[in-house]
Amino acid sequence: MRVGGTEEVRADIRVIAATNRDLRRQVEEGRFRDDLYYRLAVFPIRIPSLGERREDIPLLARRFVQEEAAKQGRALTLTADAEARLGEAAWPGNVRQLRNVVERAVILADADEIDASCFDDLEPAEPAPAGVGDEPRAARSGEDGRTLLEIGRDAQRRAESRAILEALEATGGNRTEAARRLGISYKTLWAKCKEYELGEEAKG
């Protein structure tokens, strides 16, 4: 219903929201409305930080060098040592920081190559805790035989079932109120509970 209006207008929309905050924690601390969180968190997608996907760093750096050098009508490349130095940096500012660092290096470069000395001021990354990154490669890359679509569907099922159970828990099992918080109809909630075989957990 429009502000000041008297008639409901039906709309079919999808909302994509992004944040660098931990919304679950924000809800627990009372800094973010729980009803809004459950409306948004239907299919959450976590994008790993640049430090968690270091194999992308040289690829992105080369691309940024090409783009920035082209603006100046130059042809520049990164030395192997330079790529290694970039791969060892912390990157708290993620891809945006990487682009800015590369742009500065291109501006300051007085030769056809950008070497590691251009990145001496970068903060090195902290060593990864023992066990981090040791999971099987197939579990991280989809090499278990599933297609990207199947991986996405599985993630959606897990996210939706988790959100439904959390909403039901927060409302004491009241399906009507849980559906309202999730921004779906009671009928849709009932169908989801049946589809995901939530059973006793979703009664109420």
The lowest-confidence range among 4-8, 84-88, 179-183, 200-204 is 200-204
Chain Cα centroid distance, residue 137: 20
How much is the mean pLDDT over the chain? 82
The lowest-confidence range among 32-36, 37-41, 133-137, 189-193 is 133-137
User: What structural domains does the chain harbor?
Assistant: 50-119 (1.10.8.60), 137-202 (1.10.10)
Cβ distance 122 to 89 under 8 Å? yes
More confident residue, 125 or 138: 125
Question: For residues 10 and 56, what is the distance between their CA atoms, to the nearest angstrom?
Answer: 43
SS (H, E, C) 54-87: HHHHHHHHHHHHHHHHHHCCCCCEECHHHHHHHH
